[in-house]
Structure formats: C-alpha cells, structure tokens
Amino acid sequence: MGINGLLVVDKPQDWTSMDVCAKLRGVFGEKRVGHGGTLDPLATGVLPVFVGRATRAADLVAAGEKEYLASLRLGLTTNTQDVTGETLETKTVPADAEARLRAVLPRFTGPIQQVPPMYSAIKKEGKKLYELARKGVEVERAARRVTVSALDLTGRTEEGDFLLRVVCSKGTYIRTLCHDMGQALGCGGAMSQLRRVRVGRFGIEDAVSLDCLVSAADPRVYLRGVDSCFDAPKVTVQGLALKRALCGNPFPLKAPAGEWRVYDPAGQFLLLGRSDGQECRVVKSFYEVERP
C-alpha cells in the first residue's frame, strides 16, 4: 500500500513551502506531496503537509482559520512589505507610537479590505505577481475581503519591534497588515518576523521539525490519518450505502444534517460527506483502489 497521511511540519526560516514538499518527496519516496497554506521564506511555523491521497484534503485545510505571531518594525517601508525587501523609505517613529498603534488596531479588526502585495503568488493574466515585481512592473490589484478575528499588541522586542498576535481567515497577508498599519500611523511599517502557530485544528505543539523528519529512522511514525483534519462526527456505512459511497454517489444516511466522516466496517476512512438528514453527498473522497 502507498504512503498516505498528514504531517504537521514546523517550517524552518529561509525555506519555501514548496522546498519543504520537495524535501519530503525524497524522504517518503512519494511524488504526491502538497501543503495546506503557503508560508513565505521569512516565516516559520505550522505547515500542514499531505502525502499520497491525503493531498486531496490540502485545499480544505488551507481554507481554515490561521493564527500568527508577528513582529512589526515601524519607520520602514519596503517593496516586499517585510524586512527582506528593498528599502523604499525610512521615517522617524513617533514617541507615542505604542499608544497610536493600539488606537488603530480596531480599524484592522473584523472584515477588512486588503490589497494583495506585488510580491505574492497571485496571478494576473497568467503571470505570478512576484515575477512581474522582480522585473520592476507593478500592476493594479483588486482589494480582497478578509477577516481578522483577533489582533492584539502583546509586547515589544529588544530591537523595539512591536509584537502582534493575529487570528485571521485564508488569504490574509500579515506583511500587508503590518505595512497598512504603518501607513495609518504615517511613519511606515514592515514585518520583521512571522511565526504561524495554528492552522485550523493543528497548533505549533503538534508540529515536528524538518530536521527530525529527515533524520528519523522511520518518518512514517509522524504521519497522521487525514481524517484528523476534520472535527465532524464519525459514521460507518455498509451494504448499499457503502457501495454507493465507494462510487462517489449520494448514499442513504439517516443522521443529523451536517458534515460526517464516513468509514467502512473495517475502519478505513472513506470520505468527508454532508448529510441532509436522509441522504449524504460526498464533499471529498479519500478512497483509492490500491493497484499492484
């Protein structure tokens, strides 16, 4: 049988998310490896990585809520909106910066409109924005609606950067948040550090380092079942319902309306489904016929 499952990786700094996937393809000898939510090279922390048929869950996990710990450096504006970029402007940080920063936090909390940065993987007419940015080209980007459900100022670093805790929806750019807050204060701002501490159900306490995975005698011990991604209740099906489920068709299921994790009598996780109380439709199937 092929290798399948989920890894919660603590992504190291200076690695891209795809670098991590490429490394783990070699570790597991499996071509199908993908991640659930990109982290910039500067960032560290929780990166869900999916192996084998578990890659089918990547988009569902990437859509979940995320939590970050970020550092904001005021007085600096860069072309990438973080400290790795080219400096565009420096300004004096006001003496009352902390009080002013606290005062603007509510403006960036809740549903907000955010213009994606040029240095991002978003595509414009088939070209990734960062590819255009590297050529000195800037194009107009439409603002996107994102939700910041929590934004707290938690302290300062020895260098004077402000520490922020952010809980947000998919598609939120933390470096853009830092940039926009700096603009609101009139002195500019850039993200100096970023650590993702939660993606959906998985926190940093669940994560394993890349070094540990690479050096493990058997890295498969760190794999989790893909069903652990979901908090829906479990149900076992058999007979006609099982046959229809295995074909990806709606199947009879007298159960409360909502999402269900569906298993066969042997305990194999088959799919995530959504029931209307009488019938269940497949949201995402994880059943796969093993080929010799």
- DSSP of 33-72: EEESS---TT-EEEEEEEEGGGGGGHHHHHTS-EEEEEEE
In 3D space, the residue among 203, 160, 190 whose CA is nearest the CA of residue 68 turns out to be 203
In 3D space, the residue among 3, 24, 5 whose CA is nearest the CA of residue 15 turns out to be 24
> What's the pLDDT at 189?
97
Order of strands across the sheet that contains 251-252: 234-236, 258-263, 269-275, 279-285, 251-252
SS3 content of the chain, % helix, strand, coil (to 5): 25, 35, 35
Per the CB < 8 A criterion, the answer to whether 74 and 68 are in contact is: no
> What's the pLDDT at 270?
96
pLDDT values of the chain reduced to their tens digit, one per residue, 292 residues: 578 999 999 999 999 999 999 999 999 999 999 999 899 999 999 999 999 999 999 999 999 999 999 999 999 999 999 999 999 999 999 999 999 999 999 999 999 999 987 666 666 666 666 666 576 666 667 889 999 999 999 999 998 999 999 999 999 999 999 999 999 999 999 999 999 999 999 999 999 999 999 999 999 999 999 999 999 999 999 999 999 999 999 999 999 999 999 999 999 999 999 999 999 999 999 987 654 4
Q: Backbone phi, then psi, for 145, in 5-degree steps?
A: -85, 125
Q: What is the pTM of this model?
A: 0.91
- Point out the residues that are catalytic: 40
As a whole number of angstroms, the distance between CA 214 and CA 209 comes to: 9
Q: Backbone phi, then psi, for 112, in 5-degree steps?
A: -135, 160
Find the Cα–Cα–Cα–Cα dihedral 81, 123, 16, 132, rounded to 10°. Answer: -60
Domains of the chain: 5-64+201-227 (3.30.2350.10), 66-199 (3.30.2350.10), 232-285 (2.30.130.10)
- 119 is written with which tokens? 């240095």
> What's the pLDDT at 292?
44
